[in-house]
């Protein structure tokens, strides 16, 4: 099932609060992605917080984005604990 993202809010510890087209709100943890290629730039919290919704998904100014199906399937309806230190 394809659900586009209609809103995103960055949270502390590299978490995202996502609202999908069906109005479902889910939490996504970006921390595991921060060592992968273009996502490593997002360790800078100012860059991480500069994301927006474009074409039904999230995107950062450096061009990093994630497929909305990944965002949905790997997110949780439960709030995620804050466990990482922001670098």
- Residue located via tokens 């479902």: 24
The number of residues making up the chain comes to: 87
pLDDT tens digits, residue range 30-50?
A: 999 999 999 999 999 999 999
5-73: CATH number: 3.30.2020.10
Q: Order the strands of the 5-10 sheet from edge to edge.
A: 5-10, 15-20, 25-29
Report pTM: 0.87
Higher-pLDDT residue of 83, 57: 57
Q: What is the dihedral of CA 20, 39, 86, 29, to 10 degrees?
A: 30
3-state secondary structure (DSSP) of residue 67: coil
Higher-pLDDT residue of 80, 73: 73
pLDDT of residue 43: 97
- Contact between residue 15 and residue 27 where contact means Cβ atoms under 8 Å apart: yes
């Amino acid at each position: 099932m394809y659900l586009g993202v209609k809103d995103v809010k960055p949270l502390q510890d590299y978490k995202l609060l996502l609202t999908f087209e069906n109005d479902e709100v889910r939490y996504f943890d970006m921390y595991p992605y921060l060592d992968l290629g273009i996502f490593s730039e997002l360790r800078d919290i100012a860059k991480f917080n500069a994301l927006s919704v474009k074409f039904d998904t999230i995107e950062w100014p450096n061009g990093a984005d994630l497929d909305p199906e990944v965002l949905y399937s790997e997110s949780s309806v439960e709030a995620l604990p804050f466990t990482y230190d922001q670098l």
